[in-house]
Amino acid sequence: GKVSPVVISTWAPNVKANAVAWQVLMNGGNALDAVHQGVMVPEADPDDQSVGYGGLPDRDGRVTLDACIMDHQFNIGSVMYLEHIVHAITVARLVMEKTPHVQIVGEGALRLALEHGMKKENLLTEKSEKAWREWLKTAQYSPMTTVENLLERIKNNHDTIGMLALDQHGNLSGACTTSGMAYKMQGRIGDSPIIGAGLYVDNEVGGATATGVGEEVVRVCGSHSVVEYMRHGYSPADACKEAVKRLVKARGETLARKLQIGFIALNKKGETGCYSLNGDFTMAQRNQQGEKVIQSPALLP
């Protein structure tokens, strides 16, 4: 029989992204197209300063994007340190479908995009440039302040999008896209374009995606860990919780209290869940019952 589709994504404002993904699924589209088109919504939104166009730049004023995508057959593609292209997720999909490789960075990723007819654009909006110049005044160019800035943005409930979908054929896919940590050092890559860290999908089990301080998500192979916990029988929420606990164990509670990471997960049966290190994390969900924002439970609330 037909499976009941579902879409989830990190952060409440991404109900808008879910709506687009849901429409793809309702038109009979597959999970891969759903997550691809879904995450294009915040990528194109100038007011989302964490993703795509309008994203906050690195400390030198360059907007550099990271994204990855994974389907139900272990096909993967990712781009890192991509400049001048609004839809990094589309370039990640080009890497997956049009090249023999799985990860392409910087100039090479830009070239791939241009070769496939994508347009070169300025991603730095006036609003983001102004924020960056303001930051320059007091930041002393320090990477520590970038973590503080990220935490501030997370409090404002507006950040990186990771999205997972289950289609009517019972197939899972995921996508993750970000402009990364604001005012990061040049060339810095977080978890978001790293398969296994920012995103992982195993069609026999489920999928997971992450948000928060990427350095910490990478440290525990976050999304892959969540999927492995589900493989061993944990519910999506409990699997996310175990991965968060693993980080606290690795880093200690004192440091962990100053950080934030959040996971969302979706299993083969269409069950969903989320869990975060500290408070303020939300998950947006869309299924046949309608649209919903779920306040995530937290380990150190």
User: Which residues are known catalytic residues?
Assistant: 160
Q: Is 211 annotated as a binding residue?
A: yes
DSSP secondary structure, 56-95, as one string: ---TTS---EEEEEE-TTS-EEEEEEE-S-S-HHHHHHHH
Q: Is 191 annotated as a binding residue?
A: yes
Rounded to 5 degrees, φ, ψ at 248 are -65, -40
Indicate the residue among 136 and 151 with the shorter CB distance to ligand SD4: 151
Q: Shortest Cβ distance from residue 213 to ligand SD4 (Å)?
A: 6
Q: Shortest Cβ distance from residue 24 to ligand SD4 (Å)?
A: 24
289 with 238: CB under 8 angstroms? no
Rounded to 5 degrees, φ, ψ at 67 are -155, 155
Q: Is 213 annotated as a binding residue?
A: yes
Amino acid found at 7: V
Q: Shortest Cβ distance from residue 23 to ligand SD4 (Å)?
A: 25
Q: Which residues of 57-76 are buried (b: 16+ CB within 10 A; e: fewer)?
A: bbbeebbbbbbbbbbbeeeb
Q: Shortest Cβ distance from residue 31 to ligand SD4 (Å)?
A: 22
SS3 label, residue 26? helix
Nearest to residue 131, comparing CAs of 116, 111, 152?
152
Q: Is 188 annotated as a binding residue?
A: yes
CB contact set of 140 (below 8 Å; sequence gap of 6+): none
Tokens at residue 227, please? 């999927």
Q: Shortest Cβ distance from residue 49 to ligand SD4 (Å)?
A: 11
Neighbours of 117 (CB within 10 A): 6
User: What's the sign of the alpha-carbon dihedral 272, 277, 283, 289?
Assistant: positive
Indicate the residue among 171 and 296 with the shorter CB distance to ligand SD4: 296
Which positions touch ligand SD4 (CB under 6 A)?
150, 154, 159-160, 178, 180-181, 190-192, 211-214
- SS3 helix, strand, coil % of the chain, rounded to 5? 40, 25, 40
The residue number with the shortest CB distance to ligand SD4 is 214
Indicate the residue among 8 and 181 with the shorter CB distance to ligand SD4: 181
Indicate the residue among 25 and 259 with the shorter CB distance to ligand SD4: 259
Amino acid found at 44: A
Indicate the residue among 159 and 242 with the shorter CB distance to ligand SD4: 159
Residues making up the binding site: 188-191, 211-214
Residues making up the binding site for substrate: 188-191, 211-214
